[in-house]
């Protein structure tokens, strides 16, 4: 694990400072991970060369997690892997097997917690020609900022009949006079002001930087007042601190008859169940979404399905100091080493990584070449089986076709 590349650093605004030859660690992943990683690496390198010639180049640095790591030294997530990501700040990974069995935590959850990657960022945009179950998938162009560390995903759960579950049940009876059935499992749902503010700030900053029209807080605050309702309240409190750059939806109707003044981002909120209808019925009205962990998990997959499924959905886990870009699907083990599956999700995650690094020209070339290749109906099996007149290619051949479509 040596590299000729230089370290990316993070400035005091939290932005990455990227040298011309940054070292970027990668975890190739399990199952189909090596196939899609090889294809992704070819496509990213070609896009960087097409954009900058010999002036910039990523020095890839392999780090280990998952089955490959376990087979080497019995560790699913070695400390050295975490240390390398901490040193180099930006990394990319293929999917990892979640070991089933007691006492082994999910590697993905481990990475998020250890690196405090507090936002899961999932852009969802329709790519022309991809089969979709909805009538107007072209109206979908949203980016989900999902809180990644709190909520019912914090891992604070106790089995029914356990000592801790019994203690909670007794505490609630004694302090609140409320009965919980004695054979209940107990889970906690922590949602903090701190966790909410930093997540919503990332979403608002994104909207301002990218000229988006709105940010929507998605919550179930009508039922869970002090967790999801507080998420909404703290989100609006933070928005108020931005002064006149933002305007709430209430003010928009009270003072501007529903028409946002030029250059202002509208902050609104929707109850989660209603929002699931809105993304289907009125997707064009939503651009940037911020939400707690569980809502975000459900909604980002529902949105991905609307534009053609997880095979093409990119994702990133971003914190104050580190960013980890990843395919959003799993390892699809039945296709391992067949050079068959769609590398689109990891390639688009690579484009997000280039955006994050400020290498926007390379990111554009990467995305455009993918769009052009799909428009030529040169696609992997998953899309070929749904498209008429498609040419089915292998995973590696898809990357090669993308490279041919780069300038």
Which residues belong to the active site? 153, 220, 273, 297
Segment interacting with ligand NAP (CB under 6 A) among 20-28, 95-103, 132-140, 352-360: 95-103
For the CB of residue 44, give the shortest distance to ligand NAP in the complex, in Å.
Answer: 16
Interactions with ligand NAP, residue window 346-405 (CB under 6 A):
382
Segment interacting with ligand NAP (CB under 6 A) among 112-120, 189-197, 234-242, 328-336: 328-336
Q: Using an 8 Å Cβ cutoff, are 36 and 337 in contact?
A: no
Question: Does 270 help bind ligand NAP (rule: CB under 6 A)?
Answer: no
Question: Does 227 help bind ligand NAP (rule: CB under 6 A)?
Answer: no
What are the residues whose beta carbons fall under 8 Å from the beta carbon of 365, sequence distance 6 or more?
A: 47, 50, 51, 406, 407
Which residue is listed with tokens 């590299």?
Answer: 3
The torsion region of residue 297 among left (phi > 0), alpha (psi -120 to 50) and beta comes to: alpha
Q: What is the largest CA-CA distance in the chain?
A: 70
Question: Does 95 help bind ligand NAP (rule: CB under 6 A)?
Answer: yes
Closer residue to ligand NAP (CB): 32 or 216: 32
Single residue of 121, 313, 332, 357 touching ligand NAP by CB under 6 A = 332
Q: Using an 8 Å Cβ cutoff, are 356 and 369 in contact?
A: no
Question: Does 85 help bind ligand NAP (rule: CB under 6 A)?
Answer: no
The torsion region of residue 33 among left (phi > 0), alpha (psi -120 to 50) and beta comes to: alpha
For the CB of residue 145, give the shortest distance to ligand NAP in the complex, in Å.
Answer: 18
C-alpha distances out from residue 196 to 228, 242, 273, 293, 294, Å: 10, 16, 20, 10, 14
Question: Does 81 help bind ligand NAP (rule: CB under 6 A)?
Answer: no
C-alpha distances out from residue 91 to 56, 204, 325, 357, Å: 17, 24, 6, 11
Closer residue to ligand NAP (CB): 34 or 333: 333
Residue with the closest Cβ to ligand NAP? 330
Judged by the rule CB under 6 A, the positions of this chain that interact with ligand NAP are 32, 36, 95-98, 108, 311, 326, 329-333, 341-342, 345, 382
């Amino acid at each position: 694990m040596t590299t000729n590349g230089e370290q990316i650093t993070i400035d005091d605004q939290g932005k990455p400072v990227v040298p011309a030859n940054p070292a970027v660690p990668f975890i190739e992943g399990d199952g189909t991970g090596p196939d899609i990683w090889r294809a992704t690496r070819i496509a990213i390198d070609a896009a960087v060369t097409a954009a900058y010639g010999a002036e910039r180049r990523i020095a890839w640095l392999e780090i280990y997690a998952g089955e490959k790591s376990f087979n080497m030294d019995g560790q699913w997530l070695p400390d050295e892997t975490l240390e390398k990501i901490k040193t180099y700040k930006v990394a990319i990974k293929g999917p990892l097997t979640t070991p089933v069995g007691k006492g082994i935590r999910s590697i993905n959850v481990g990475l998020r917690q250890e690196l405090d990657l507090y936002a899961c960022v999932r852009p969802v945009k329709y790519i022309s020609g991809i089969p979709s179950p909805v009538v107007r998938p072209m109206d979908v162009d949203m980016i989900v900022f999902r809180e990644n560390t709190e909520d019912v995903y914090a891992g604070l759960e106790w089995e029914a009949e356990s000592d801790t579950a019994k203690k909670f049940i007794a505490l609630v009876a004694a302090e609140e006079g409320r009965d919980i059935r004695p054979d209940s499992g107990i889970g906690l749902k922590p949602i903090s002001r701190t966790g909410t503010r930093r997540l919503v700030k990332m979403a608002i900053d994104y909207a301002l930087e990218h000229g988006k029209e709105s940010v929507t807080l998605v919550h179930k605050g009508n039922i869970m007042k002090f967790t999801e309702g507080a998420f909404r309240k703290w989100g609006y409190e933070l928005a108020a601190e931005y002064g006149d750059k933002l305007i709430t939806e209430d003010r928009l109707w009270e003072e501007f008859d529903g028409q946002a003044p030029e250059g202002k981002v509208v902050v609104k909120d929707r109850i989660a169940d209603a929002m699931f209808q809105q993304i289907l019925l009125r997707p064009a009205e939503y651009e940037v979404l911020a939400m707690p962990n569980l809502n975000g998990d459900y909604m980002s997959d529902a949105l991905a399905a609307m534009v053609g499924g997880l095979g093409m959905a990119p994702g990133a886990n971003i914190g104050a100091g580190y960013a980890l870009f990843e395919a959003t699907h799993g390892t699809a083990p039945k296709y391992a080493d067949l050079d068959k599956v769609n590398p689109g999700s990891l390639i688009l995650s690579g484009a997000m990584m280039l955006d994050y690094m400020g290498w926007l020209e390379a990111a554009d070339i990467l995305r455009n070449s993918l769009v052009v290749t799909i428009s030529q109906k040169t696609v992997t099996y998953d899309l070929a089986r749904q498209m008429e007149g498609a040419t089915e290619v292998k995973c590696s051949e898809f990357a090669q076709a993308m490279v041919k479509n780069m300038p």
